[in-house]
Homo-oligomer: A and B are copies of this chain.
């Protein structure tokens, strides 16, 4: 008969295993948290990606990170108690701007109330002994795609998130690429058109991919197309500030030529860059996620054409360009929650 020494049973790792293996009657769930500039949204999520409960707190209400975390944790526990099923909470995954997965920090996040390098996982861990993982939203989306979405069973793929900016997450051999400093996957800030006369980027450089391929990039391209063309367009009545990707998308669907050209150029720039991305890690697929990806063939068609045209011959017809299978609405929470499930694979 086997007998284990007591100290083994009471160690943290053993506890964790005990929870996972010892209570099969309970439904295991994780908490996915998406910290945004205005709201912090969270969900309690099962292994299949069902959100059993969700709620939010106002990020902007909390000047102090410790108070924010305490309030957030309290709200999560209250929310979890409303779930009627018998659940077993096994960890917290947090997606946040400039989230560093190596250190559990968020570092100089633009648009959040807290400055400097914030040891978020450590602060969170004052409230719980369960695993707490922090990363940025694009990395979370990549893991989410692997755990719940279209990348199930894939070992090598890339997720590109197309929002106000452009984020990316790389998965190599079934694992998210962290990088030496925890900041892998910033291809939004690689050069698509180098040169001093090129588009200014918020990062201080010029010609970055996200100045072309993002909701903002689409708007910027639209203005240029409009300036160069004499075609009539319903979009000529909008100011830059009034415009958004959805307005341009709807105009393009109605056949507006200026809007269509702006999408085509955006997709072309994306496809061109994706051919280069493939030459780094040779992924099986690239998933597009976010607002712009919802424009479907308006963005996918030119992206696919230009990617294929520019791929090195050894990659031709081997890389799939696919829409994310996570719903845009829940993706940030699902992505964050998936970080915990991904730990269990090791």
Chain A residues engaging chain B, CB cutoff 8 angstroms: 98, 107, 155-157, 170, 172-173, 175, 177-187, 189-191, 193-194, 203-205, 272, 275-277, 279-284, 310, 312-315, 318
Q: Which chain B residue has the least Cβ–Cβ distance from A203? A: B312
Contact B272 A186 (CB under 8 A): no
Q: Which of B185, B204, B276, B315 is within 8 Å of A191, CB to CB?
A: B276
Residues of B within 8 A of A172 (CB): 172, 177, 179
| Other A-B pairs, 12, CB within 8 Å; known A180-B284, A187-B279, A191-B276 | A98-B314, A156-B178, A156-B180, A170-B280, A180-B283, A181-B314, A181-B315, A183-B315, A184-B282, A190-B279, A190-B280, A194-B272
Q: Which of B181, B189, B282 is within 8 Å of A182, CB to CB?
A: B282
A-B contact pairs, 10 of them (CB 8 A): A107-B314, A156-B178, A170-B280, A170-B281, A173-B178, A177-B282, A183-B314, A183-B315, A190-B275, A205-B310
Q: Which of B173, B180, B203 is within 8 Å of A282, CB to CB?
A: B180
Q: Which chain B residue has the least Cβ–Cβ distance from A186? A: B279
Contact A181 B282 (CB under 8 A): yes
Chain B nearest Cβ from A118, distance in angstroms: 15
In the complex, what distance in Å separates the CA atom of A204 from the CA atom of B263? 28
Contact A283 B179 (CB under 8 A): yes
Residues of B within 8 A of A277 (CB): 280
Chain B nearest Cβ from A341, distance in angstroms: 19
Task: Tell me whether chain A's interface is mostly helix, strand or loop, or mixed.
Answer: loop
Q: Which chain B residue has the least Cβ–Cβ distance from A284? A: B180
In the complex, what distance in Å separates the CA atom of A177 from the CA atom of B189? 22
Instruction: Enumerate the 7 nearest inter-chain pairs by beta-carbon distance, A residue then B residue, closest first.
Output: A179-B282, A180-B284, A190-B276, A184-B282, A156-B180, A186-B279, A189-B312
Q: Which chain B residue has the least Cβ–Cβ distance from A205? A: B310
Q: Which chain B residue has the least Cβ–Cβ distance from A280? A: B280
Residues of B within 8 A of A279 (CB): 185-187, 189-190
Chain B nearest Cβ from A259, distance in angstroms: 25
Contact A156 B173 (CB under 8 A): no
Residues of B within 8 A of A281 (CB): 170, 177, 179, 184, 280-281
Contact B183 A156 (CB under 8 A): no
Residues of B within 8 A of A204 (CB): 313
In the complex, what distance in Å separates the CA atom of A277 from the CA atom of B177? 14
In the complex, what distance in Å separates the CA atom of A277 from the CA atom of B187? 9
In the complex, what distance in Å separates the CA atom of A175 from the CA atom of B173? 9
Contact B318 A180 (CB under 8 A): yes
Chain B nearest Cβ from A283, distance in angstroms: 6
Q: Which chain B residue has the least Cβ–Cβ distance from A285? A: B180
Chain B nearest Cβ from A146, distance in angstroms: 14
A186/B318 contact (C-beta < 8 A), A177-B172, A180-B284, A281-B170 known: no
In the complex, what distance in Å separates the CA atom of A193 from the CA atom of B313? 19
In the complex, what distance in Å separates the CA atom of A203 from the CA atom of B276? 14
In the complex, what distance in Å separates the CA atom of A107 from the CA atom of B312? 14
Residues of B within 8 A of A155 (CB): 180
Residues of B within 8 A of A313 (CB): 203-204
